[in-house]
Each structure stands twice: as structure tokens, then as C-alpha cells.
Amino acid sequence: MRTKLLGNTGMEVSVVGFGGIPIQRVTQEEATKIILECKNRGINFIDTARAYTVSEEYIGNALKYVGRENFYIATKAMGYTYDDMKKSIELSLEAMDIDYIDLYQIHNVSKIEQLDMILSSEGALKALVEAKEKGLIKHIGITGHICEILIEALNCEDFETIQFPFNPVESQGTELFKKALERGMGTIAMKPIAGGAFSKPELSLKYILNSDLITVAIPGMDSVEQVVKNSSIGDSKLELTEEEIVELNREVKDLGNDFCRRCGYCKPCPEGIDIPNVFIFEGYVTRYNLVEFGKDRYNSMPIKADSCVRCGKCESRCPYNLPIINKLKHAVETFK
């Protein structure tokens, strides 16, 4: 497995990492076998999150068997205040039963108000810096789905990595990654197979790794077979063949414009619907096969898709011209 330095962190990570979201749907025994296969295949970067239910716990238990020393562990939390982030760090360390976390990221920053809070005197960054000084975490990162917010975050020197969606149909992060690399940050590609939308994930991974924009891509994996297949793409840098380019372009065309990039331009909805999250939670059900997880997240929303009054304001703002009204209607059917 090829490796790269994750920005200026000093961590030499495998170019294909392990995304921890779908591991929720397997057993602990299966999860341990998957993590062991990651070690055997040279994958040394694991990414998870507080929000991924049992993912941190499964990974921590697997590390007792496979060996903590074989991996860089990254996790993240959506706490934006000092108190919330401090508690999240404690919970992550407890869930994984480890002494330190290599990379702790502020998860899914989607509003400028959230970023302002994070950077304030009582914000999440203060808790992360304190944890770093105590050796509880080694490095600090930030993740999100909106370029403008994360580009603004690049001005903060405490952030050492950036995580953002990137794949052949989601290239809106190109400028963000370029700026991050210029600043010496590590770049992490989430959603590298578009949330499972690509039927041949290896082509998407090859595209990403050939872009020279990404340090590590983190496809979610829930089987040993997926680890074997995905890790093979990181063994050597191979250019896409003409045949593969044609096939990849066909997949991109099939996905078309009917694909939410979670840019957030559709917001705010006059009725208060968090439109991108509706589609994210629907994707957990229809793509990740995380039916209960997706339904639980959707049901926790204070205002759901069936509150849509078809005013059309979201569609007028969408830079991708998505049929949002029809997609919300489809989501209502999905969650019935």
C-alpha cells in the first residue's frame, strides 16, 4: 500500500483508509476480521465518528486484538462549544478504550455561525487545543460539506487536516483542496464512492488517487471482500485506461444531476426542513443499507420532508437544478 504524509502532521498514512460508518451494520466479530484485513492489506488510517453509533466501540475492541500500534485513529464530533467538544473527546477515548486519538475532527461544520462559535473563546477549538496539549489527541481537523465554510476555516492555523466529499461526480471541493494543500494541510476524501452510488468503486478510487488533491480516501467498508478490493487500488499508482474512463463517464452520466452534493444552497427552507440532511438520511437507507440508523436520524428531525409546501424556493437556489420537491416527496415514501 502506498503511503503519503498527511500534510504537516508527520503521520504517514495509507492512500486508502478505512471509513467507519457502515461497520455499524455488522457484528463485533465481523468488524474485528475487517480491521485485521485492513492491517494485512496495509491500510493504517481509520476514520470514524461519535455519531456512528457502535462504530467507535467496535473499532476499539478490534484494536485490542489487531494492535493499536498498527493504525492512526481519526474520529470526529459535532460539538461546537467547549463543553460539548471536551465531553465528546472523553466519550471517544472511553468508547475505543485507548489513551490517545491521532486526529480529532470537528464534524460537519455547515454554518458560519457554527464556525464562529468553534473559534470563539468558549468554542470547540479551545477544547481540542487543550486535549492536544495534554496528549489526549495528536492533531486537529475539520470536516463539512460546504466549500465556502471550510475555505474560511483554512484561516485558522490550528486545523491540520480538512475532510470533504470528493469523487468523479462531486468535484466541488477542488479549489478547497488546492488551498488546503498550499497551506500544508492533509486532505481527506469522504464519500469517495458517492455514498455507494458507483457500481465500480475501484474506478472512483483510482480517479481520486490520480487527482493529486487527496492524501487519503476513506471508503466505508463492511466486509473483508471490500477491504481486499479497495486496498488493491492503493498498491500502485495506475492511470485510468481509456476503457475505464469511458465506463466512469457512463456512471457519472447515469447519476446525472439528480444527485445532492450537500452544498446547502437550497437553505433556508421557509418551512424549516433541513433538505440536505433529509437526502443524507435517505441515503443511509437506500445506499448504505443502514435502515434503522437512517430512520432514527430522520425521525429525530423536528421538521420532516412531508412539511414541504412546494413553494419552489429551494429549487431556484440549487446550483445543480435538482428536482428537490420531487426528491422530498420520494423521501417521504422512503421513510413511511
What is this structure's pTM?
Answer: 0.84
Q: pLDDT truncated to tens, each residue of the chain (336 aa)?
A: 999 999 999 999 999 999 999 898 899 999 999 999 999 999 999 999 998 999 999 999 999 999 999 999 999 999 999 999 999 999 999 999 999 999 999 999 988 999 999 999 999 999 999 999 999 999 999 999 889 999 999 999 999 999 999 999 888 899 999 999 999 999 999 989 876 777 788 999 999 999 999 999 999 999 999 999 999 999 988 889 999 999 999 888 877 767 787 667 788 999 999 998 999 899 889 877 889 999 999 999 999 999 999 999 999 988 678 899 999 999 999 998
First CA to last CA distance, the chain: 44
221 closest CA partner among 238, 199, 206, 201: 201
- State residue 220's pLDDT score: 92
According to CATH, the topology of domain 3-246 is TIM Barrel (3.20.20)
Instruction: Find the angle CA(149)-CA(151)-CA(155) to the nearest 5 degrees.
Output: 110
Residue 236, burial from CB neighbour count under 10 angstroms (0-12, 13-18, 19+) = exposed
- State residue 319's pLDDT score: 67
Would you call 73 helix, strand, or coil by DSSP? strand
Give the residue extent of every domain in the chain: 3-246, 275-334
Task: Report whether 76 contacts 118 (CB < 8 A).
Answer: no
Residue 181, burial from CB neighbour count under 10 angstroms (0-12, 13-18, 19+) = middle
Which residue intervals of the chain are DSSP H helices? 28-40, 55-66, 82-96, 112-119, 124-133, 147-153, 174-182, 201-209, 224-233, 242-255, 275-286, 291-299, 313-317, 324-334
CA atoms of 133 and 175, how far apart (whole Å): 32
Quickly tell me which residue has 474485528 as its cell. 32
- State residue 327's pLDDT score: 95
